[in-house]
Structures are given as C-alpha cells and as structure tokens.
Amino acid sequence: MSPAGNSHLVITVRCAGPGCTNLHRESNHWFLITVEPDKFVCRPYVPSLGLTQTDEPACGQACAQRLLERFLARRTL
C-alpha cells in the first residue's frame, strides 16, 4: 500500500455502507466486507494489514448489515 520509507503517506478510508459518509478514525470499530459471487465475508478491519480492491470497509455493525442485505438482495434477482 505505501512505499517503503514514506512515513507521511495518509490513507483515507471511507465507509462503503449505503448512504454512509463516515471516515475511519483510530477509535472506530470497523469491519471489512469482501463479496464474491457466492460468498459474503465479514471480518474486523486491521489497518496494518491494508486493503485489497475487493474489500469494502464498513464503519460498524449497522453498515455491515446493510451491505449484507444488499448482497442478499442481489442473490434473489
């Protein structure tokens, strides 16, 4: 994610929850959601592990649940 030795790089993480605009702060309890064609994975967000392009950050349980609902709605179509 960051070039080696660049201690000034700032990464902003915004919640992917529908209608949410929260930004990650140090004290927040965030989740990472990964959606694959037949799989929904929710795990704690650990900033030191970084993000992949398929990760959708969620600022809390409510936004993680909205992302799950969106995933389930797509599967029923």
Query: pLDDT of 46-67, one tens digit each?
Result: 888 888 888 999 999 999 999 9
Q: What is the pLDDT of residue 4?
A: 60
DSSP state, residue 63: H
Q: For the stretch 6-19, what's the b/e string if a residue is b when 16 or more beta carbons lie within 10 angstroms of its beta carbon?
A: eeeeeeebebbbee
Spatial neighbors of 70 by CB under 8 A, at least 6 apart, are 18
pTM: 0.77
Taking only Cα atoms into account, the Rg of the chain, rounded to an integer number of angstroms, comes to: 14
Q: Is 12's pLDDT higher than 50?
A: yes
Comparing 42 with 49, which gets the higher pLDDT? 42
